[in-house]
Structure 1
Amino acid sequence: MKKSINIVFLLLALASGIAGCQKSFLEVTPAGKIIAEKTNDYNLLLNSLTLGNQFMTHSQAMGDEMAAIEPYYSGITLQQQRSFQWEDNIYEPNEDAPEITYPTKALYVYNVVINEVLNSTGGTAGEKEALQAEALAGRAWVYLQLVNTFAKPFNSATAATDPGFPIVKEANVTMNSFPRATVKEVYDFIVDDLKAAIPNLSPTPYHRFRMSRPAAEALLGKTYLFMGMYNEALEQLTAAMTDLAASTYPVRLYDYNITFGPGGQFLPVTIFGPTLPNLYNNEESLYSRQTMGDWTTASNALPLSPATVALYGQSDLRRNFMSTIPYPSGAAFPLGMARKAGPFSPIIGMVVPDIYLMRAEVKARLNDLPGAKADIEALRVKRMPAADAPVPDAISTNKNTLVKFILEERIREFAGLGYRWFDMRRLSVDPDFKSTVNTKHIVYSATGEAQSTFTLRPERLTFKIPPKVLSQNPGMVDNQ
């Protein structure tokens, strides 16, 4: 009984973010060692809300699909303004950075499970290996977020020397030295964790909150895409799609022609956006990790830019996630701009639309143009009337134009949710497609005049290490 009470207390403590006494790079809650003994104790740890709530929001403001509009822009926080303006420092010296605190809390839990579960009691060897595999893949997801926030985009020519992120393999809050591994070392670490995990993961998802084999395969495919390793990415993304096709657990694309049709599941569409299923019932979610939607549902300060809105055809049902009217009411935004009206909590784990779009992109890059066309149209036919879904021949028969179309489709699918920032990073080191990254953010007046323009410098494709973390860890090297 005492063991069970300790585990429940731990989960509550982790979920609420109680701070421990040790101040270090690992801003985590436990003071000492998690008390777990039985295999099921470690199973419960993987249900912790700490793992699912990853409230890293500033990348939403930094995407090139966003604009700003007054007078709303003047009323948002200084952190939010600094993010939109691509400033060097987002945080004050006394402020915690959620891009550090949430992932490292999750990292602590994963390391506990990885290092201890095989010696637990009451479970079979297969059960223990499966739990360790979930934690390995979960740790890999965390590190993919960290290295794509606090390190330069992966560049094969410089990755072996570019500062990455500290690799922490132990659940030890007394650690006080955190040297930064290189970008290559971090990516190798992610790949190794996923390769070790995949054979022992369930081939069929059994809960959206928990890692499965197709989720890990998709994550490995995404990692390879970020590394520019397109053949390897295609192999893993295809494996994920194959496993999903055989799954008895409902993980699929929603057909917006149905969900927004008469009596549809996503109706009514209100000032808060469509009526969506919650995180754990959303059938497009393969691995449920969520963040807060700073610019979704009820915010007017950072609407989608005029160029972004112009990417959508009139019959594109993704327009239901946009509103040209401020919240809660008022005159329409100028220049056709629109606020993002949902989802309230964007899913940033692994989602089915992302798998389709990633595979379409790598197929196009590898000159499988018919295959790429088929994948993107399989998504588009679920987002608009079938007659409007086909990619025009003038686009689909040319590699460069098709890749650009797929990149624009990624904006149409994920606008305002933070995904674009990570695409901008990888595209910035892509000699063929770096011109697709817009480096200007504009603040507009209420009548549509450009009041201020901010320019993205290459250095700010990487977050600086937050000042509070640097002060607590004097030996840690900052980014430029």
Structure 2
Amino acid sequence: MLTSNPANMRTINGVKLAGLSLIFLTACSKYTDIKTQGALVNGKLDNYSLLLNSTSNFAAGPSICDYASDDIQLVDGSNQQKELAANTLSYDYYMNAYTWQPTIYAIASANYQDYTWSNLYNSVTIANIIVNEVPTVDDATPAQQEPVIAQALVHRADAYLSLVNVYSKPYNRTTAGADLGVPLVLVQTTTQPLVRASVQTVYDQILSDLRRAIPSLPPTQNFSFIPSKASGYGVLARCFFYMNMYDSAARYADSALAYKATVLDLSTVTDPAMSYPQYFNNPEILLAKQARGYSGTTYGPATFRLSDTLLHVLGDDDQRYNLYTTTPENISFDYTDAGGRFFFMEGNVSNYNNRNVGVTVPEMMLIKAEYLARTGSANAAMDLVNQLRIKRIKQGSYVALTATNADDALVKVIQERQREFFCRMLRWWDLRRLNSEARFQTTITRRFNGTTYTLARNSNRYVFPISEYNRRLNPEIEQNPR
């Protein structure tokens, strides 16, 4: 396996930061050194197009955030909770994230690697190879090279946007220049220190990548995991949204919707396994990214039991409740003592393919709606919310939402975000973002195995720690304050 360099320099293709296996890194090196192996010829554009279009290279998104959010709630003393507590070697990451511990991935655990970190930096690594080597190919003009480079830049920007929103403090304009970001690696070299760039520097790079990419992106996409102009504008809108720059976020959300604006009509769907599209051809998805981790969240102890507050916000006329959640006995007869509902989107739809955490059409609509509410346009904000809700509420039960004023509209927009994105990462990001506003700050309390845990508003625990495995490999990576 990988070993640390005493001089704090990286020696395995410049990507030891990802905690990837030597086998994978060697494979990447051999791949780009191929001379005459079949159709893969060094210096040819198709070489990099194949890298770009492999879902194994770019499909992974963050998976750890949901465990910490108020979307889920384990019932203390329930069989599920007891099963988790009895299997710490396998499920300690779940319990540690759920209770906001200073260490999520213990070195002594069977699950000592942080797959959110390694998967995202794997995407960065492959994107860097494409961005830096495609200009050297000898069988394509710059005009042919640019779309390939542009799509890699979108993947790199999206990966860094996820990394900085998991392992760094929420964006604050006044402190972002000093707040710890993540290692910013733009070129794969044999030796480089992996010190953490500032939050501001990481965001500046994300914006730079996207602005460079968008003019060369294709106007449409054949599959949702291939970046298009809608993808680029969508990631750009999300980026500005989590910088609290709502005017810019709304403008680019509009740009994304100008290219792709389809909303699936769930109002009459009764069998999602038959009626709901797979992630790669879902017309709502602007850029597909799957929440990948150690285990699925549909069966066994790792299943997400939805919180009572979320279920109250959802309501049983909401098709997202009917299609994406299930009763305890459908998970395990042992779990009926927990009551409530369990997240079941993966189990119902295309075998783990649809826990998408990438940008979507509904996300763009709600970004624009939040901007409108924040700027006093309550009716316009609610119009957008209702355009989404009419496709989400069971046929015959839909009633348009109204708001008494802009503040009320803002509350309703944020509630709609929780309904639309539950168990798909964004609720945790929203809790972090909204901590800067007193009216939305909240203290989360939960019990696990007889102990009460509290996440205070603006706590350092809203930032995930960097795994000790990665820090042992790269001692220069500073840990987050706890």
Normalising to structure 2: TM-score of the pair? 0.84
Aligned to 2:407: 400
How many pairs does the alignment contain?
435
Contact 2:13–2:188 (Cα < 8 Å) also in 1: no
Q: Following the alignment from structure 1 to structure 2, what is the Cα–Cα distance between the partners of residues 22 and 224?
A: 30
Task: Assess, with a 3 A threshold, how the Cα gap between structure 1 residues 416 and 453 changes in structure 2: closer, same or farther.
Answer: farther
Q: Following the alignment from structure 2 to structure 1, what is the Cα–Cα distance between the partners of residues 282 and 223?
A: 11
Of residues 71, 90, 100 in structure 1, which corresponds to 2:104? 90
Contact 2:265–2:391 (Cα < 8 Å) also in 1: yes
Task: Assess, with a 3 A threshold, how the Cα gap between structure 1 residues 189 and 399 changes in structure 2: closer, same or farther.
Answer: same
- Match of 1:72, as an amino acid? Q
Aligned to 1:441: 446
Q: How much does 1:258 deviate?
A: 3.1
Contact 1:165–1:186 (Cα < 8 Å) also in 2: yes
Task: Assess, with a 3 A threshold, how the Cα gap between structure 1 residues 219 and 390 changes in structure 2: closer, same or farther.
Answer: farther
Aligned to 2:327: 324
Aligned to 1:195: 211
- Map Cα deviations across residues 40-84 of structure 1 (whole Å, 9 max, x no partner): 211111012333442642212111121003221232311111110
Q: How much does 1:188 deviate?
A: 0.8
Aligned to 1:422: 429
Q: Following the alignment from structure 1 to structure 2, what is the Cα–Cα distance between the partners of residues 355 and 284?
A: 10
Contact 1:39–1:120 (Cα < 8 Å) also in 2: yes
Task: Assess, with a 3 A threshold, how the Cα gap between structure 1 residues 299 and 286 changes in structure 2: closer, same or farther.
Answer: farther
Q: How much does 1:324 deviate?
A: 2.5
Q: Following the alignment from structure 1 to structure 2, what is the Cα–Cα distance between the partners of residues 388 and 358?
A: 25
Superposed, 1:51-90 pairs within 5 Å as 51-54=57-60, 56-69=62-75, 70-76=78-84, 77-90=91-104
Contact 1:225–1:362 (Cα < 8 Å) also in 2: no
Name the SS of the counterpart of 1:310 in structure 2: helix
Contact 2:382–2:401 (Cα < 8 Å) also in 1: no
Q: Following the alignment from structure 1 to structure 2, what is the Cα–Cα distance between the partners of residues 22 and 137?
A: 21
Superposed, 1:113-128 pairs within 5 Å as 113-128=130-145
Q: Which moved more, 1:333-342 or 1:178-187?
A: 333-342
Aligned to 1:8: none
Q: How much does 1:398 deviate?
A: 1.5
Q: Following the alignment from structure 1 to structure 2, what is the Cα–Cα distance between the partners of residues 289 and 90?
A: 23
Aligned to 2:162: 145
Superposed, 1:14-413 pairs within 5 Å as 24-28=16-20, 29-31=24-26, 32=29, 34-35=32-33, 36-54=42-60, 56-69=62-75, 70-76=78-84, 77-93=91-107, 95-172=112-189, 174-245=190-261, 252-260=262-270, 266=272, 276-292=276-292, 296-299=297-300, 302-320=304-322, 321-330=324-333, 333=336, 337-343=340-346, 344-345=352-353, 346-385=355-394, 388-393=397-402, 396-413=403-420
Gaps of 5+ in 1: 1-19, 246-251, 269-274, 445-450
Gaps of 5+ in 2: 1-11, 34-41, 85-90, 347-351
Task: Assess, with a 3 A threshold, how the Cα gap between structure 1 residues 65 and 40 changes in structure 2: closer, same or farther.
Answer: same
Q: Following the alignment from structure 2 to structure 1, what is the Cα–Cα distance between the partners of residues 232 and 192?
A: 31
Q: Following the alignment from structure 1 to structure 2, what is the Cα–Cα distance between the partners of residues 180 and 21?
A: 19
Contact 1:295–1:340 (Cα < 8 Å) also in 2: no
Q: Following the alignment from structure 2 to structure 1, what is the Cα–Cα distance between the partners of residues 312 and 208?
A: 42
- Map Cα deviations across residues 290-333 of structure 1 (whole Å, 9 max, x no partner): 12485743246541111211112332111221112333453885
Contact 1:51–1:289 (Cα < 8 Å) also in 2: no
Name the SS of the counterpart of 2:453 in structure 1: strand
Percent of matched pairs sharing the same residue: 27
Name the SS of the counterpart of 2:313 in structure 1: coil
Name the SS of the counterpart of 1:314 in structure 2: coil
- Map Cα deviations across residues 208-247 of structure 1 (whole Å, 9 max, x no partner): 11111111101101110100111111110001111115xx
RMSD, aligned CA:
2.5
Q: Following the alignment from structure 1 to structure 2, what is the Cα–Cα distance between the partners of residues 230 and 416?
A: 24
Task: Assess, with a 3 A threshold, how the Cα gap between structure 1 residues 71 and 376 changes in structure 2: closer, same or farther.
Answer: same
Contact 1:64–1:441 (Cα < 8 Å) also in 2: no
Contact 1:111–1:169 (Cα < 8 Å) also in 2: yes
Task: Assess, with a 3 A threshold, how the Cα gap between structure 1 residues 348 and 175 changes in structure 2: closer, same or farther.
Answer: farther
Q: Following the alignment from structure 1 to structure 2, what is the Cα–Cα distance between the partners of residues 389 and 334?
A: 32
- Map Cα deviations across residues 169-197 of structure 1 (whole Å, 9 max, x no partner): 1123x234111111111111111111111
Name the SS of the counterpart of 1:178 in structure 2: coil
Name the SS of the counterpart of 1:286 in structure 2: coil
Q: Which moved more, 1:458-467 or 1:379-388?
A: 379-388
Q: Following the alignment from structure 1 to structure 2, what is the Cα–Cα distance between the partners of residues 438 and 282?
A: 36
Q: How much does 1:276 deviate?
A: 3.9
Task: Assess, with a 3 A threshold, how the Cα gap between structure 1 residues 21 and 170 changes in structure 2: closer, same or farther.
Answer: closer
- Match of 1:236, as an amino acid? Y
- Match of 2:44, as an amino acid? K
Aligned to 1:454: 453
Contact 2:61–2:289 (Cα < 8 Å) also in 1: no
